[in-house]
Amino acid sequence: MPKRALVLGGTGMLAGVAGHLVNEGWLVVLPSRRYSPLPDYAEPGRGRALWVQARWERPERLVRDTADALDGPADLLVAWVHNEYRRSVLNAVEPLLVPDAPVVEVFDAPPDDRFGAGPEPTLPEHPTQQVLLGYVRDGDRMRWLTHTEIVDGVLDAVKRAIRGAPTTEHYVGQARAWTH
């Protein structure tokens, strides 16, 4: 049986991360509101992606449907969940993980446009890679990260998580606040 990954938010900005894991032979379960297929990887040794309809405000149903799709405990959790649902959703899916499964949590740029001490891991009993997304200076302007920059930053954290790295914060881009 291939390794299993649970990727929350994996059909949107994290689709490239999910696709990478599928290419590496993982079974990737993608709970999300909208169906968005990943390319079909039918070559021998490739994994597969399974979409599960889910809503963050219904974590009990999300867990039930996700457990059916995983068909066993997940070896990795990657999550980009709205802050208002993060704690309830991650706590709900935690029983679906192997006991020491690494977690990658993705956070949008902080509302005060400053990076300070990162947030505490939502599932502290799991080694957690926290990805804090910021902005990129482009001449005299600041812009939001591109899809590719986000995927590359999250993939770096996923690779560290899979290698067994201890809990770490990853800053992709910079805080918006800056002086000329």
pLDDT of residue 180: 43
Residue 161 has pLDDT above 80, yes or no: yes
pLDDT of residue 37: 64
What is the average pLDDT value for the chain, to the nearest integer? 86
Which CATH class, in words, describes the domain spanning 4-172? alpha beta
Name which of 15-29, 53-67, 69-83, 111-125 the model is least confident about.
111-125
Q: Which two tokens stand for residue 41?
A: 């990887």
Report the C-alpha gap between 142 and 120 in whole angstroms.
Answer: 27
Q: Which of 100, 141, 105, 137 is nearest to 120 (CA)?
A: 105
Residue 179 has pLDDT above 50, yes or no: no
Name which of 22-31, 76-85, 113-122, 123-132 the model is least confident about.
113-122
Q: Which percentage of the chain shows pLDDT scores above 90?
A: 55
CA triple 31-34-37, angle to 5 deg: 80
